[in-house]
Structure 1
Amino acid sequence: MPENAPEITDWLTIPDLADALDETPGRVRRLLDEHFLIGSRRNGAFAVPAAFIVDGRPLSSLRGTIIALQDVAFSDDEVIDWLFTEEDTLGRTPIAALLDGHKSEVRRVARTLA
C-alpha cells in the first residue's frame, strides 16, 4: 500500500462486482476498460472500492472524474487515493462530494492538479 494512502475498508473483487451489478465478469471487465470503474491490486487480488457502486450500478459521475485524473497522469492507485483523501477545497473527500452529487466541483479541483 502506498505511503499515506487512505484506508479503504470495503473492496469488491471481479466476482463480487459481477454479483453486485448483476452482470457477467466479462461485462465488469468492460466497465473497467471503459473507465466506468477503477480498481487496484494493492491488497493482492484485483478489487474495486465498494463505494463506487451505488444502487447496483457504478457511480454515474465516476467515469468523467477518472478520465480527468488520468489526463493529468494519475495512475489507477493515485486516482483511488485522491478520491478517498480529504480535499481541503471541497471540505471532504472527493468521493463523498461525488456521492452527494457535486461532480462539477470535484472535476474542477481535479483539473487543477496538472
Structure 2
Amino acid sequence: MSETPAPQPTPSTQSTESGEPGDGTAPDLESLVGEWLTVPDAAERLGLQLSQVRQLVTDREVLAARIGERRVVAIPAKFFDEAGPRPELRGTFTVLADGGMNDDEIIEWLHTPDATLPVEGAPIDAMIAGHKTEIRRRAQELAF
C-alpha cells in the first residue's frame, strides 16, 4: 500500500529557525485576518441567499478560504461594506492573481500590516480609506 504524503504547511504557518515570516511565529491566515464571515453569516448580513454568496466567491467579487478545525469556507469581513462586496477589490484580486498569487496569498497580502502605507494598517485598510490606486500600484510591482 502506498501512503499519501502529509499536506505541506502554508508559508504563513511553516516552521523554520530563521525568525522570519513563515517561521511559525507569524500569525496564521485565520488570525491575521481576524474577522471572518462564513457563507451563511455573509448571506444573513447582506440579505442574500446562500447560493448568491457562493456565486460572489465563484465570480471573484470576494475571496474565501477554509478556516478553523472544520475547515469551513469563510470570507474576510473587510471584503464587504454595508451594500455588499467592496467594488475596488475585484481588480486588485486580478492584479495579484496575475502576479502569481493564489487566493490564500492574496488574502494574506491584503491583511498584512505595512508601515509604508499612507494609512496605518494593511493594504485592505488603505483601500477602505480610498487609496485603491496606491495599493494596485504596489500589487503590480509584486508581479515584476
Q: Give the structure-1-normalised TM-score.
A: 0.90
What residue identity is the alignment partner of 1:14?
Answer: V
Find the aligned partners of 1:53 and 1:65 in 2 and give their Cα distance. 14
* Corresponding position of 2:37: 12
Q: Decide whether the 8 Å contact of 1:20 with 1:56 is kept in 2.
A: no
Q: CA deviation at 1:113?
A: 0.5
Greater share of residues in helix: 1
The answer to whether residue 80 in structure 2 is matched with residue 53 in structure 1 is: yes
What residue identity is the alignment partner of 2:44?
Answer: D
Find the aligned partners of 2:135 and 2:116 in 1 and give their Cα distance. 9
Q: Decide whether the 8 Å contact of 1:89 with 1:109 is kept in 2.
A: no
* Corresponding position of 2:137: 108
Q: Give the structure-2-normalised TM-score.
A: 0.73
What residue identity is the alignment partner of 1:63?
Answer: R
Moved more, 74-83 or 41-50: 41-50
Find the aligned partners of 1:29 and 1:21 in 2 and give their Cα distance. 13
Q: CA deviation at 1:64?
A: 0.7
The answer to whether residue 71 in structure 2 is matched with residue 42 in structure 1 is: no
Q: CA deviation at 1:9?
A: 1.9
| Bigger Rg, which one | 2
What residue identity is the alignment partner of 1:113?
Answer: L
Unaligned 5+ segments in structure 2 are 1-9, 14-25
Q: CA deviation at 1:59?
A: 1.2
* Corresponding position of 1:27: 52
Find the aligned partners of 2:103 and 2:133 in 1 and give their Cα distance. 21
Unaligned 5+ segments in structure 1 are none
* Corresponding position of 2:123: 94
Q: CA deviation at 1:88?
A: 4.4
